[in-house]
Structure 1
């Protein structure tokens, strides 16, 4: 039986339409760094917009020139391990069936992320010699797409500090572990996960925010090998027992072929997963047969093209594709417009005090195949931006923990940012208004905001607040509350 209050509400709704707005629960951000790769914290924009920034091409870092590497080298992983940068990738000199015996896993390293070398490891004999940089051989099909990570689980034994998954549908995903990142062994003989197609780079990591292992892997929207190349997810408490797969969603965006997705936690904000993947455009032929012959492209690999896209997730089974535009366009030159070129490596790493880098496979299926570096400012994927006439952003309610507010921002000489902190309902809080804010001018990775002569916001810590940011010819890349 409907009660009287419900009956009255139904009548009012019928007469006037739905007008009741339920309060939004404040988002608990603590002291996390918040970026604008998604709109999780944005309530509204007025005269401002979120823009995607373009990485800067820094050139080739190393070629796949060794006899056991070659034109079909792919599926690169970059790890920053203290002061050492490590690169892992598939080497295979000729095209063949996925998981064939000629595929090996190769290794390179760097002390700055810019200049790389391929050490002679002496682990495996290739073509009668152990003078090579191969860490896995005679392990097909694991070597087709072997993809490692550094396990940040606080309970991980040192013998398993490095973990990896590799394999195709014929093998399932097989788990490997290592103490030094060079010498690897199977965690167990049988695969740890079999419910996928896996014909791509399948990536895993320990999630600090979800407190579990997560794996993002290749599936197809139509099942089997039909429909669109897409992504599913599984989770595990121990890297051995994995949950049933769940297909990832992409919001209100059209399906596209995602050949790789490269989902990984952003190192300055690990609760935000970045997916810097390869968008594949099958049968979109750009170069002619004559041009392909001139470039020396394998005949099977120039009738499609690819570029780099950016998605994000905060866990669960949803990606946000805020930007459908390309994150990295194919470069000038026909060699960049062939099949399976422009595939990004897994992980973004810091390569300078204000710089981070990502790496991209280019010139696939050609004698000039190589890995290339692109750089950006820290947190510089996207920004809230306004022009000379100004604009503003209002956040959703959130609860922070901290004493000072740090901004990563850029302005012109004529530009500035002003920040005011509001209560949950949007009212100004005395001492933190726009009028009391010291203008933020310049171009810095980290600047503390002052109101009057104080930067102390600790009295608001733990309370629901909003933030309104006023921008004039300025970009805001991230913010963070610090103690």
Structure 2
């Protein structure tokens, strides 16, 4: 995995925590992407943005119902199947015109690496149903489905989507079934393949929506949420609204950022982080209007409204090639954990957009939890008091040759707890996703369950990504 050294100057702590208020972390994964859990840190230590490794090209959009401006890819998992939904569209760069109506397509995979376009027989396109088109009505420009995790979701609406009513024109007659008005309509499906439009009029009307507008069930709010496009003084921005029923929505509010400049964010790719849904991550694509280039960024939030956004692109134009042209370097929506590979997470990015006969999608691979690392040459970190809710501590970390991580436990007054001191601890010197912290006499945390302690973490030549008590 590549690393880029970006020091986070602003602290991203959403709530002030005192020693008198121990944090109930339970078994939740604790991500070391900011100072939220850290009471103090001394020494040479910083938060460092990570970059994913480019892997194989997994999809090309060369079918005659697809084309070189196929876009707005949404990757998701349903059971043991992975799916990629996207727009099929083509632009004649000589005539400067769209050549056929936009459609919504799907590709499927069992491993997230090898993808197929099923011949579904659902939609007729130029006399044939032997295609992977799943939707041909209003909203095909930026149709972005999600699997509804609402426990009260009707089986017939297991899949849902929000998409805009505005349509594109070109060297073809737009069918009446695709003509809507500005705003976001709702859609539903039992299987993610056979869709129906569930609102006759837009349910969200305040915004621009000419982007990938995302919805999902937010377990933290017990509501549906939507992240969509708006313009503020000519700058592309991201807004948020919520709904209890997917029909009636609050007025959108603009997202806030910690120490980030005002810049064009073309897409947002916001979603709950699967390993801890209390954290929201985003892969927004920054738009550079001077030459229509785009580059994906990383951001995350603890409330879904205020985000820490890094300024360096996570996928540079050189990773590997064909990313420097007009809108040729989008990050797709969706972070996937692939089968039998707990050590990595996959994201997907576009390349070769706009020119030629097709566009392409490439897989990129992160270390699990490895979007940001707490990196130390020589440092000591002390956490706020946390209530122990399990038998052992596991860390996701790696050390350099000769490096180490030592975890000891303190009481809420900062005094070492006998049996869990630095002298009792067995140093970690390795590269593991879930390494159990051990003490020399083999003791567990059983005697401390339900009690508040501070974790003292001494790091030498090491990177720490996450921690979990379970």
TM range (shorter): 0.7 to 0.9
User: Partner residue of 1:314?
Assistant: 302
Deviation at 1:271, TM superposition (A): 1.1
Q: Aligned pair in 2 of structure 1 residues 215, 364: CA closer, same or farther (>3 Å)?
A: same
Deviation at 1:304, TM superposition (A): 2.3
- Aligned pairs for 1:331-410 (under 5 A) are 331=318, 335-351=322-338, 352-367=341-356, 368-387=358-377, 390-410=378-398
CA distance in 2, matches of 1:264, 1:176: 19
User: Partner residue of 2:61?
Assistant: 64
Question: Which whole-Å deviations, capped at 9, do the CAs of 1:134-174 have from their partners, x for residues lacking one?
Answer: 0011x13x111111111111221221111111115633111
TM-score calculated relative to the size of structure 1: 0.85
SS at match of 2:334: coil
User: Partner residue of 1:107?
Assistant: 106
CA distance in 1, matches of 2:420, 2:463: 21
User: Partner residue of 1:198?
Assistant: 209
Question: Which whole-Å deviations, capped at 9, do the CAs of 1:244-292 have from their partners, x for residues lacking one?
Answer: 2111100222111110110001111111111011011110xxxxxxxxx
Q: Aligned pair in 2 of structure 1 residues 408, 69: CA closer, same or farther (>3 Å)?
A: same
Q: CA-atom RMSD, angstroms?
A: 2.3
User: Partner residue of 2:228?
Assistant: 217
User: Partner residue of 1:92?
Assistant: 89
For the pair shown, which has the larger CA radius of gyration, 1 or 2?
1
Find the partner of 2:46 among 45, 49, 55. 49
CA distance in 2, matches of 1:406, 1:153: 30
User: Partner residue of 1:26?
Assistant: 22
Structure 2 residue 277 is matched with structure 1 residue 263: no
Ranges in structure 2 where 5+ consecutive residues have no aligned partner: 1-16, 167-180
User: Bigger shift: 80-89 or 332-341?
Assistant: 332-341
User: Bigger shift: 376-385 or 68-77?
Assistant: 376-385
Deviation at 1:453, TM superposition (A): 2.5
CA distance in 1, matches of 2:331, 2:97: 19
CA distance in 1, matches of 2:231, 2:253: 12
Deviation at 1:478, TM superposition (A): 0.7
Contact 1:99–1:143 under 8 Å retained in 2: no
User: Partner residue of 2:461?
Assistant: 473
TM-score calculated relative to the size of structure 2: 0.87
CA distance in 2, matches of 1:470, 1:479: 14
Number of residue pairs matched by the alignment: 434
Contact 1:90–1:145 under 8 Å retained in 2: yes
Query: Which structure has more helix as a fraction of its residues?
Result: 1
User: Partner residue of 1:456?
Assistant: 444
CA distance in 2, matches of 1:280, 1:350: 28
User: Partner residue of 2:190?
Assistant: 179
CA distance in 2, matches of 1:206, 1:453: 46
CA distance in 2, matches of 1:120, 1:279: 35
- Aligned pairs for 1:240-255 (under 5 A) are 240-255=247-262
Q: Aligned pair in 2 of structure 1 residues 98, 218: CA closer, same or farther (>3 Å)?
A: farther
